[in-house]
Structure 1
Amino acid sequence: MGCLSGLAWAQDQSVRQFDIPAGSLAPALNRFADETSLQLVYDTKLADGRTTAGISGSYTVDQALKLLLVGTGLDYRFANDRTVTLQQAEGSAVIVPPVVATEGTSSGAGMSSQTGQKPVKVPEILVKEVRERDNDTKSYVAEEASTATRTDTPVRDIPQSIQVVTRKIIEEQRAFRLQEALQNVSGITPSFPVTQQFDNIIIRGFQANNNNFFRNGLFDQFNAQSGSDTYNIQRLEVLKGPSAVLYGLGDPGGIINIVTSKPLPDPAYAGNVTLGNFNFYRSEIHGTGPLNADRTLLWRLDVAGQKANSFVDFANRDLMAFAPSITWLMSHKTTLTVQAEYIKRWYNNLAALGVPVEGSVRPNINGEIPRNRFTGFGDFDKNNRTTYRAGYDLTHQFNNNWSVRNAYQYSILESDQIAGFGLALLADQRTLTRGVGTGVESSLNRQHLHSMVTNLVGHFKLLETDHTLLTGVELRQVRQNPVQITNRRSPASDPSLLNLDLFAPSYGVNPLSAPVTTNNLFAGDLKLVGVYIQDQIALLSNLKFIGGVRFDYVYQSSTSGAVASNPSEQTSDSTGVSPRLGLVYQPVEPVSLYTTWMRGYLPNSPGNFNPGGKLFDPERSTLYEIGMKTFFFQNRLSTNLAWFHLTRENLLTPDPFIPGFQVQTGEQRSQGIEFDVTASLAAGWNIIASYAYTDAEVTADNNPTLINKRLALVPYNKATLWSTYHFQEGVLKGFGLGGGVYGYTSRNASIFGPGQVEIPGYVRADAALYYNHDLQVGNWLGAKEVNIALNFRNLLDQRYVEAAGNTTTLFYFAEPRTVLATVGLRF
């Protein structure tokens, strides 16, 4: 319908489904514009103070707009193929509220009112961002994603696999942790259990480590080290493959960009409480709106608190977090957002959640190890982490074609931990010997992260082709303060205190000695400068090319005995050039065929030397990918089918001639097929599904036992399906139901250790019930809507191992049946 003229739009008799609730007119118009892809142009004060009865059902575009404006005193006309102007209807009373900016107003667009006042101009970038954020709360389908190109590019025009998990998916699944939300994406598997503190996942067969996490496009490794919470997350964008061309050094599987919620121009408030088994208590509060009458200052505050145990004894999951932000519309071309976050987690040591292979995956002569078994030191274990973040995002639009963005974030991570963990299972298969980690004073174990990105984006025409040019600079520093290690050991008179009976455990006695020595162990520093350029070229209307290259310079230093009299310091310099080429061909508008080639880059640590005394070269990775993307039914159905071949080279492997040294001849390869679907097929019906076949193995190594060994925790097959339906009419209106199935085939526990331990595959079922009800105006709560949800995870109470850390003592059980009941109010 994109080629219809204004008259054709009005006369078109094809119908589509609308579901726009009653309420303020401006948000309703904004949603109508999103669903029809029309641009509504009007003086903002025409909508202010007016309400609509909403529409629900199947209508033509003309019918829907007429119904939406019933009783508002407004009329409309088509200005051109894609633009509709609103105006005061003849003979109706003129409402003259204060002149304000709303999210439905486009940049520079508007019409003179009957009072002669000029319309307020809202920055185009804010209008786009507000609409996208509004869509994220209403649909599973995302039409645009900025992570792949650092520009606002439709997903259909990106020659790379990218999946988006919207806010609506997060809320309907009650996904409080990143791993819970990312389970919906093909090619992603957990490397640690969801009950632990860290965000550790595997993408396309390779671990996504500290270097693979970003926040609003800025590097943020503390997401992996301290664990994210979804209370202030608007969407998750997963970009598959080594993306060094825009994001610098990293592991090759892909990156996760966390997009946080931003202030909105219309007042909105919400709160909810969630209760669950294993003494789970959680509450969230969200608020946003304008700070002044003309809505040039906007605010937002997201707060979360959680007091929770887990199915594992002693494994608490307590949380306190809040994230304030302010947006200043400095002019119709300039927008500044300042945001901060404080998040503290009280957790236990991860290793203490693991149990031996005998009794979890393999038989044990004493029977199955209980899923709730804790292998640490009970209440004497701890792993508490606090993260502080503060930064800004400044955007300026020079004109309709050129814009600049400068964003910066400063983060601090503090850690405080005492770790106990299993070493070996004795012959009786019930006595676990345990080791002692370190107790780290949080005041001295502190990491600092500075991350800044400056991007210049321009649109121009050259040789009859349209170009979108991106140039950028990234500055990054990660600094580790000197870490103080406090040694603790079991009293020599009774070392057996460290042993644990897995079937009759006792945690009443502290097996740790008092602190005996203190050593200042190490400090570290990493500085990065990256410069990149990228051009997106529309060679034809249906043929698009993207090319880019990035140059990185990385300086690293590591100091042992950081405050000792004779500290040992090692430094390294490395450079990397990371290119990308991609092509998109659209034989018909809803279908995009694409291919891409790119290179990744990851420097080695400064303490690694080859036998000749030289620093090792950086690891390199290479991706070849071809795929197809489709958007059908007015973009309500999105699919992505991809085949990829990904290699990781320059890996360290034992030197066959000089014992104790390593050489860079190792290689790993991952290849496979991925298929992702997101759909909002009808009003109230949403689907997200995925399938991945991943063949990941060691292809070159000087250790012959590793050749052709499957990479750890990567199943050959993974399939997921989640769907919800909310009844739109009849006696069941307001009720909804949902459910999902998640299946994994067997995985290799680790590439190291004796033999190859297979973790059995499993199929898990989840379910949910919903009730959403609009409240009468003037109710004693002052609320607009009440939302009730009942979520069931592992509905059939399947007993299975979710992940592993080795082949002997670190096997992690998945959650048993979990029930979460949520009651929320929106104001």
Structure 2
Amino acid sequence: MLMAQTQEHPDNQLDEIVVTSRRDNSYLTNSTVLGGKYKGRIKDLPQSISIVSSELMEDKQVFQVADIIPDLAGVTQASVYDEFVIRGFKSGYDSGIRLINGMRSAYGFGESYYRSPMTVNFESIEVLKGPGASLFGDIAPGGTINMVTKKTLEEHKGLLQFSAGSFETLRTTIDVGGPLDSNKKILYRLNAGYESSKTFRDINNRKNVAIAPSFTFKPVEGTTIDVDLVFDQFNGYLDRGMSTKGGDLYALPRTFTLSQPSDYFKTKTTTLSGRLTQRLAANFMLHVNYMKSIYEEDLNEHRTLNTYANPEQTVVNLRFFDRHGKEYTDNLVSYFKWDKYGEKIDHHVVFGLDYAQYKGDKNSYQREARSKTVNGETVALTFDMNNPIYQGADISTYVWRSNSAYPFMSPYKSTGIYVQDQISVGDRLKMVLGVRHERYESESTDAKKTYTATQNVWLPRFGLTYLINDQINYFASYSQGYVPIAANFVSNYQEYGADRPFKSERSFQIETGVKTGFFANQLQVDLALFHIERKNMLIGTGQLTEAGLPVYRQSGRVLSQGVELDVRGQITKEFQIMANYTFNQTKVKSSAIAAEEGELLPGAPKNSGSIWLKYVFSTTAVKGLGFGVGMYYVDQRRLSESIGKDAAGNAQWGYLPAYTTANAAVYYHVDKFKIAVNINNIFDKYYFLGGFDYTRVFAGAPRNVMVALSYAL
């Protein structure tokens, strides 16, 4: 995004006109908006932000957000769900709200976290590092994932693509847009995609479809109205990973599953959003944004009970879910923006109000079975990994538990009032000062005994950037974060295995570093040092209560600190590069489990990094021919839940081994056509993306190939 400049202030990058474009299809994105709350050139912002562009997503043929994670510095996968580890901390399910254009979406929170969003309508994916609570409310301390949608177009443009590859995968996408009238007062864009795949996992076929139309109306000068609709549907299986046999991670093929052919997982996600931008005066703007998301789910699944049925660890206990639910997320973001220009000091003040609410449908329900009747006797549901049986399950014989609890997530309402000032002092010093007050109200899910919990918190942030010269910026920042404790954990804490009410989590980050630009600032290189502390971190134990609820505990204090290198952009218009490296030293400083003190945080690698290089010939006899090559490394990671106890009774944890994968691509451009061949995991490495314990680990895909043909309309 290139921010329009004003003639009176040529260095100012904060005007409201945003043009979505990149030079020579570079991997570099120069600016960010983050819903209007944190606006400007990334190089001038006093905080680390990692970004991947639509060009990179197209070049790597990614179809889900999870597929692009290796290219985001400090971010790794925790599982095959929409769950990631950002600077040492997990983001997903109950503390991993995903943002779309700076607003809370239906992704990443609650039951929807089992699926990663499709990328067909995303212009870029951003990660604002560290606690983002002063901007967005209750956010996990490692970072905030913001997905930026493709904007409407003032000129007619389109792209049609067909892909086919391993595991009988077929994909097609379309991206078209332009003006609907001669005066260009009504603009549109349509993105749509379809995928059918058997995947590399047994009994894991899937079909994805997404349709995302968007419109822009400009009725009068100074007024803009944007309307976006996204419909995302999935039909397949819920991949719960695989259990290990006898404690050996590699004893089973990575295709192994506990699912049965009669299982199914069907979801629908519908998101409607509208934005009003109104210029009230020359330097005074009003922004009102609203988004409503509805997530629907129908599920039948056999999955592990997180325990083995025999000492040899070759038979696992199962549980069966019959779940049908619906969740609603509403988000209102409204703010005034005032730009005040002075002779030496400029102020860009944002004052706003955020409101968000989440709730489950009252008609949602779940049945759970852990046993069945056979010849009049009740027997436990189990799965023998030495003698696997895959057949349609007769659930009429299942014994349904009477105390299953659903929904799991407390309904909440969150209201935030914030003010922020982006200050420019002369030509070199820029500062950000902000504070937010958050009021969080939640209700218990027990319909018979409703309980409300309210939390109020003040969240400051400040940072500065100093322009050493045209190539180097120094930055430093401090920010706070919190994750509130839902009413369930306050009123019904006994049902989650605690002897006292849980406490809200608090965190802070101190960060400093340099941001540099090379090759006419077309190659961005950022180096950051960070220190994050988190108190009262909520951790799952892997155990279950009689009601089927997870048992949690809270750690006293944990640390995450390290150094992060992020490289993105182009050396020449032919040579693109994306690279990153993170050294992240995490440590549990105090815990209710003494043996955990001194351990790494769950799922957090000490070292991780990736590189992707692309070169396309532009002037020789092989003009249009290009190549891409890359590698990805992740260090060993601790499983989040104890795998047992030693002879002295101390808890023990398992570790997933480090891994390295290599990928490559060949491209050929001719006129409006482009052919691409991508090979992933070239050396067919058997590796694990993440896991919880030895009954639930997630293998990565074996070597696979995708071939794509695209045509510019």
The normalised TM-score by structure 1 is 0.77
TM-superposed deviation, 1:818: 0.9
Aligned partner (choices 191, 199, 211) of residue 78 of structure 2: 191
1:701 corresponds to: 591
Structure 2 counterpart of 1:820: 706
Q: CA 1:495–1:188 in 2, change beyond 3 Å: closer, same or farther?
A: farther
Q: Are 2:200 and 2:701, in contact at CA under 8 Å, matched by a contact in 1? A: yes
SS at match of 1:171: helix
Distance in structure 1 (CA, Å) of the matches to 2:263 and 2:643? 27
Other-structure match for 2:336: 456
1:90-124 deviations in whole A, cap 9, x for unaligned? xxxxxxxxxxxxxxxxxxxxxxxxxxxxxxxxx97
Rounded to whole Å, the distance in 2 between the matches of 1:137 and 1:236 is 19
Match of 2:484?
A: 603
- Secondary structure at the counterpart of residue 57 of structure 2: helix
**Aligned Cα root-mean-square deviation (Å):** 2.9
More strand by percentage: 2
Contact 1:139/1:680 (CA < 8 Å) preserved in 2? yes
2:507 maps to which residue? 621
Q: Distance in 2 between matches of 1:379 and 1:662?
A: 32
Confirm whether residue 580 of structure 1 aligns to residue 467 of structure 2: no
Residues 412-431 of structure 1: pairs in structure 2 closer than 5 A: 412-422=294-304, 423-425=306-308, 431=314
Correspondence for 1:266: 155
- 1:509, distance to aligned residue in structure 2 (A): 4.5
CA shift in 2, pair 1:764/1:496, >3 Å: farther
- Partners of 2:66 and 2:116 within 8 A in 1: no
**CA distance in structure 1 between the partners assigned to 2:298 and 2:232 by the alignment:** 14
1:335–1:826: structure 2 CA closer, same or farther, 3 Å change rule?
same
1:355 aligns to 2:250 (yes or no):
no
Measured after TM superposition, the shift of residue 728 of structure 1 is 0.1
Alpha-carbon distance in structure 2 between the residues aligned to 1:205 and 1:177: 22
Paired with 1:457 and 1:640, the residues of 2 have a C-alpha distance of: 29
Distance of aligned partners of 1:579 and 1:236 in 2 relative to their CA distance in 1, 3 Å threshold:
same
**1:470-529 C-alpha deviation (Å, 9 max, x unpaired):** 111101110111331234454322766843343442212515335766879445421111
Matched residue, 2:43: 156
Q: Which residue of the partner structure matches residue 567 of structure 2? A: 677
The partner residue of 2:64 within 173, 177, 184 is 177
Cα distance between partner residues in 2 of 1:481 and 1:622 = 35
Q: 1:570 aligns with which of 451, 464, 487?
A: 451
The residue that corresponds to 1:770 in the other structure is 667
Q: How many residues align?
A: 677
| 1:664–1:276 Cα change, 3 Å | closer
Aligned to 1:44: none
Residue equivalent to 1:746? 636
Higher mean C-alpha displacement, 449-458 vs 392-401: 392-401
> Does residue 139 of structure 2 align to residue 250 of structure 1?
yes
- 1:272 touches 1:822 (CA, 8 Å); kept in 2? yes
Which residue of the partner structure matches residue 252 of structure 2? Answer: 369
Which amino acid is the alignment partner of residue 262 of structure 1? K
Q: Distance in 1 between matches of 2:223 and 2:658?
A: 52
State the secondary structure of the residue aligned to 1:733: coil
In structure 2, the CA distance between the partners of 1:334 and 1:528, relative to structure 1 (3 Å rule), is same
In the alignment, the residues of structure 2 paired with residue 148 and residue 748 of structure 1 have an alpha-carbon distance, to the nearest angstrom, of: 35
Counting only pairs closer than 5 Å after superposition, residues 303-342 of structure 1 correspond to structure 2 as 303-342=192-231
Q: Which runs of 5+ in 2 are unaligned?
A: 541-550, 645-651
* Alpha-carbon distance between aligned partners in 2 of 1:795 and 1:146, rounded to the nearest angstrom: 37
Q: Distance in 2 between matches of 1:533 and 1:794?
A: 47
- 2:126 is matched with 237
CA distance in 2, matches of 1:726, 1:326: 34
**1:422-442 CA distance string (max 9 Å, x none):** 34446585742231232013x
CA offset at residue 250 of structure 1? 1.5
Aligned to 1:118: none
* Preserved contact between residue 332 and residue 355 of structure 2 (Cα < 8 Å): yes
Cα distance in structure 2, aligned partners of 1:733 and 1:359: 53
Cα pair distance change 1:82/1:585, threshold 3 Å: closer
Question: Do structure 1's residue 737 and structure 2's residue 627 form an aligned pair?
Answer: yes
Alignment of 1:348-497 (within 5 A): 348-351=237-240, 353-356=241-244, 358=246, 360-361=248-249, 368-376=251-259, 378-422=260-304, 423-425=306-308, 431-441=314-324, 445-461=325-341, 464-482=344-362, 483-493=364-374
Other-structure match for 1:510: 393
Q: Is the deviation greater in 662-671 or in 685-694?
A: 662-671
Q: Percent identity?
A: 26
Cα distance 1:360–1:233, how it changes in 2: closer, same or farther (>3 A)? farther
Distance of aligned partners of 1:671 and 1:397 in 2 relative to their CA distance in 1, 3 Å threshold: same
Measured in 1, the distance between the counterparts of 2:58 and 2:585 equals 33
The answer to whether the 8 A contact 1:297-1:327 is kept is: yes
Quote the residue 1:687 is aligned against. 577
Counterparts of 2:70 and 2:482, CA distance in 1: 26
CA shift at 1:665, angstroms?
Answer: 6.7
How far did residue 153 of structure 1 move? 0.8
TM-score by length of structure 2 reads: 0.89
CA distance in 2, matches of 1:463, 1:294: 38
Q: Paired residue for 1:592, among 473, 489, 506?
A: 473
For each residue in 1:625-669, what CA deviation from the matched residue of structure 2 results, as whole angstroms up to 9, or x when unmatched?
111101222221101101111011134699xxxxxx999771111
| Cα shift at 1:616 | 4.5
Cα drift, residue 159 of structure 1: 0.7
Task: Report the 3-state secondary structure (helix = DSSP H, G, I; strand = E; otherwise coil) of the residue aligned with 1:168.
Answer: helix
1:509-528 correspondence to structure 2 within 5 Å: 509-510=392-393, 512-513=395-396, 521-522=405-406, 524-528=410-414
After superposition, the Cα gap between the structure-2 partners of 1:711 and 1:495, relative to the gap in structure 1 and judged at 3 Å, is: farther
d(CA) in 1 for partners of 2:292 and 2:462?
A: 33
Q: Which residue in the other structure is 1:529 paired with?
A: 415
Q: Which AA in structure 1 matches 2:469?
A: V
| Equivalent-residue separation in structure 2 for 1:593 and 1:80 (angstroms) | 26
User: Separation in 2 of the partners of 1:765 and 1:227?
Assistant: 23
Provide the rounded CA distance (Å) in 2 between the counterparts of 1:591 and 1:382. 53
User: Are the aligned partners of 1:653 and 1:701 in contact in 2 as well (CA < 8 Å)?
Assistant: no
Q: How many angstroms apart in 1 are the aligned matches of 2:445 and 2:227?
A: 35
Letter in 1 for 2:173: E
Amino acid at match of 2:286: V
> What is the alpha-carbon distance in structure 1 between the residues aligned to residue 454 and residue 105 of structure 2?
22
Instruction: Quickly say closer, same or farther: Cα 1:320–1:693, change in 2 above 3 A.
Output: same
Q: State how far apart, in whole Å, the 2-side matches of 1:305 and 1:662 are.
A: 39
Segments of structure 1 that go 5 or more residues without pairing to the other structure are 1-30, 42-78, 84-122, 363-367, 655-660, 775-784
1:491 aligned counterpart, secondary structure: strand
The CA distance in 1 between the partners of 2:530 and 2:378, in whole Å, is: 52
**1:219 lines up with 2:104 in the alignment:** yes
Specify whether residues 799 and 216 from structure 1 end up closer, same or farther in structure 2 by C-alpha distance, changes over 3 A only: same
